[in-house]
Amino acid sequence: MDRVIRAISADGFVKMTAVELTDAVERARNIHHTLPVVTAALGRTMCAASMMGNALKSEGDSLTVRINGGGPAGTILVVSDNRGNVRGYARNPAVELPLRPDGKLDVGGAVGREGMLTVIRDMGFGEPVSGATQLVSGEIAEDFARYFAESEQIPTACALGVLVDRDQHVLKAGGYIAQLMPGASDAVAERLEAGVKAAGAITNQLMGGTLEDVIGRVLDGFEPEIVKRDKAAYLCPCTRERVLSALAGITESELDEMFREDGKIEVRCRFCDRVYAFTPADKPAILGEK
Ligand SMILES: [Zn+2]
């Protein structure tokens, strides 16, 4: 089951969030027909966005992550709500690249390294708050670690992983973010670093254990307390009404032109597999939105 859990060390100097999104990333693969390297790139981004979204305070808050590294996968865009439910896509889902020399998917090669990681928080009032940093490697976890260090001034250990089976389905997807709070000593930082190293790859950890186990291993010796548990899923809030309002701006003659060609207009949601069809009978509704 996909979920997000949050913990804090007994001394209060380390906060940690861990996520499993195996079902959600498999759902993304089915919606977008991603090939493995893009499944991994999109899935890692979904895991990070889910954990960051889960930290937002209020119902209706949302967080958007955009990565454009100039690689063949194109822009990756993921949106999370304040529970950690996510939706997203990669511009080009059908990218195939040779495996790296170490046998792993070449996520950095698909994402590219020449570009930015942008995070936008929308709290429902005022202007959305955004921060951005240069990509480090396009491998995504490293890129988020830099984002937290530079844009939010929080020393952060970040692990993100998607394990794709031979038949291309998602075996495991998850990750964690462990952050040092102000006042944390060098000894705390070193102990966290040692915990991260000893814990090993996140997908291996999830194959053999729970999110609680992941936190226990990474924060070994910190006596972590779990403070929050949430379910998460691939969730798209699109509706016919939202699509209608997105069509506002089309002129009547453009509309007539579109109807002349097919007799109907089909709008496919970018985030999910829903298709909304409009016929000439919907003309007043479409034009009335303006
Ligand atoms: Zn949708």
Sequential DSSP letters for 70-83: SSTT--EEEEEETT
Ligand 1 centroid – CA 146 distance (Å)? 31
Ligand 1 centroid – CA 134 distance (Å)? 30
The verdict on 204 and 281 lying in the same domain is: no
Q: Which pLDDT band holds residue 10 (cuts at 50, 70, 90)? A: very high
The verdict on 197 and 250 lying in the same domain is: no
Whether the per-residue pLDDT at 290 is higher than 70: the answer is no
What Å distances lie between residue 277 and 254, 265, 284, 285, CA to CA?
Answer: 16, 6, 15, 13
Q: What is the pLDDT of residue 1?
A: 87
Whether the per-residue pLDDT at 86 is higher than 80: the answer is yes
Whether the per-residue pLDDT at 76 is higher than 50: the answer is yes
The verdict on 126 and 249 lying in the same domain is: no
The verdict on 167 and 106 lying in the same domain is: yes
The verdict on 247 and 227 lying in the same domain is: no
Ligand 1 centroid – CA 237 distance (Å)? 6
Q: At what angle do helices 211-218 and 186-199 cross, to 10 degrees?
A: 130
Last residue of a domain, one of 214, 231, 248: 231
Q: What is the mean pLDDT of residues 84-107?
A: 97
Last residue of a domain, one of 231, 253, 268: 231
Q: What is the pLDDT of residue 289?
A: 45
- The angle subtended at Cα 85 by Cα 80 and Cα 86, nearest 5°, is 55
Whether the per-residue pLDDT at 158 is higher than 90: the answer is yes
State the SS3 of 123-142: CCCCCCEEEEEECCCCCCHH
Ligand 1 centroid – CA 199 distance (Å)? 37
The verdict on 84 and 212 lying in the same domain is: yes
Q: Are the beta carbons of 107 and 114 closer than 8 angstroms?
A: no
Beta-sheet strands, E only, within the chain: 3-8, 14-20, 62-68, 76-81, 86-90, 116-122, 129-134, 156-164, 170-180, 225-231, 265-268, 275-278
Ligand 1 centroid – CA 226 distance (Å)? 33
Ligand 1 centroid – CA 87 distance (Å)? 8
Exposure of 273 by Cβ count < 10 A (0-12 exposed, 13-18 middle, 19+ buried)?
exposed
The verdict on 172 and 119 lying in the same domain is: yes
Ligand 1 centroid – CA 23 distance (Å)? 17
Ligand 1 centroid – CA 143 distance (Å)? 28
Domain count along the chain:
2
Ligand 1 centroid – CA 249 distance (Å)? 21
The verdict on 119 and 64 lying in the same domain is: yes
- Give pLDDT tens digits for 101-148: 999 999 999 999 999 999 999 998 888 999 999 999 999 999 999 999
The verdict on 188 and 77 lying in the same domain is: yes
* CATH code of the domain covering residue 168: 3.55.30.10
Q: What is the mean pLDDT of residues 186-213?
A: 96
- The angle subtended at Cα 189 by Cα 6 and Cα 11, nearest 5°, is 55
Ligand 1 centroid – CA 211 distance (Å)? 29
Ligand 1 centroid – CA 86 distance (Å)? 11
How many alpha carbons lie under 13 Å from residue 237 in its C-beta half-sphere? 8
- Give pLDDT tens digits for 257-274: 989 888 899 999 999 999
Hey, what are 33's tokens?
């027909």
Q: What is the mean pLDDT of the chain?
A: 95
- Give pLDDT tens digits for 222-241: 999 999 999 999 999 999 98
Q: What is the pLDDT of residue 108?
A: 98
The verdict on 114 and 136 lying in the same domain is: yes
* CATH code of the domain covering residue 273: 3.90.1280.10
Q: What is the mean pLDDT of residues 1-17?
A: 97
Ligand 1 centroid – CA 192 distance (Å)? 39
The verdict on 28 and 154 lying in the same domain is: yes
Domain that holds residue 17: 3-231
Q: Which pLDDT band holds residue 65 (cuts at 50, 70, 90)? A: very high
The verdict on 265 and 210 lying in the same domain is: no
Ligand 1 centroid – CA 98 distance (Å)? 32
What DSSP string describes 147-174? HHHHHS---EEEEEEEEE-TTS-EEEEE
